[in-house]
């Protein structure tokens, strides 16, 4: 699915490009100068034009963002890729482990400025350029091993004995 959006910028302000209804993508752009441009937001079920998939999730959400006359007017942009609670439950994903990664031509990367907003149901990334992005992580939380469960019970018993305050 895709969305082509005309954009008008005002210097020093944040402009939101909302393609969430057709592509599940929104972009907040901080403008350095005033003007107009166009954003092309495209969502894919597989990584577009890449052969190196990264720990793909069952969500299958990838996107490519192209533009005309946008980068020269922006300082930074926060890209958001939305998902639903139903996706998380049905696919048994660990929502807090989701992240939006950027394809740099050789590998998927997540700068320190990426994460997930579990209340707003989107993974996000702060960037100064546009390219291909994909949602990663979110695989079900690993069950604890038998040994880890036993050690937790032993620790709980030790704490209980300590709380008895026996001299």
Distance (Å, whole) CA 154 – CA 158: 6
Question: Cβ distance 88 to 33 under 8 Å?
Answer: no
Helix (H) or strand (E) segment spanning residue 49: none
Residue 47: alpha-carbon gap to chain centroid: 15
Distance (Å, whole) CA 107 – CA 112: 16
**10-residue block means of pLDDT along the chain (167 residues)?**
77 87 85 85 66 54 75 86 86 83 77 85 89 70 59 78 74
**Structure confidence at residue 122 (pLDDT):** 92
**Structure confidence at residue 148 (pLDDT):** 67
Angle at 138 between CA 137 and CA 144, to 5 degrees: 110
**Structure confidence at residue 140 (pLDDT):** 45
**Structure confidence at residue 158 (pLDDT):** 79
**Structure confidence at residue 53 (pLDDT):** 52
Q: What is the DSSP string of 51-112?
A: S---SB-TT--EEEEEEES-GGGEEEEEEEEE--HHHHHHTT--GGG-EEEEE-SSSEE--S
The model's pTM is: 0.72
Angle at 154 between CA 153 and CA 155, to 5 degrees: 90
């Amino acid at each position: 699915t895709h969305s082509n959006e005309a954009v008008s910028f005002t210097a020093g302000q944040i402009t939101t490009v909302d393609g969430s209804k057709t592509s599940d993508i929104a972009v907040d752009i901080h403008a350095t100068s005033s003007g107009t441009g166009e954003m092309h937001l495209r969502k894919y079920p597989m990584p577009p034009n890449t052969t190196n998939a990264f720990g793909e999730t069952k969500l299958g959400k990838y996107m490519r963002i192209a533009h005309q006359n946008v980068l020269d007017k922006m300082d930074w942009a926060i890209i958001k890729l939305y998902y639903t609670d139903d996706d998380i439950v049905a696919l048994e994903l660990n929502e807090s482990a989701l992240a939006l990664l950027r394809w740099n031509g050789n590998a998927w990367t997540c700068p320190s400025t990426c994460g997930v907003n579990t209340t707003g149901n989107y993974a996000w990334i702060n960037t100064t350029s546009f390219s291909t992005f994909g949602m990663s992580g979110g695989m079900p939380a690993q069950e604890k091993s038998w040994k880890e469960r036993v050690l937790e019970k032993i620790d709980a018993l030790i704490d209980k004995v300590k709380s008895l305050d026996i001299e």
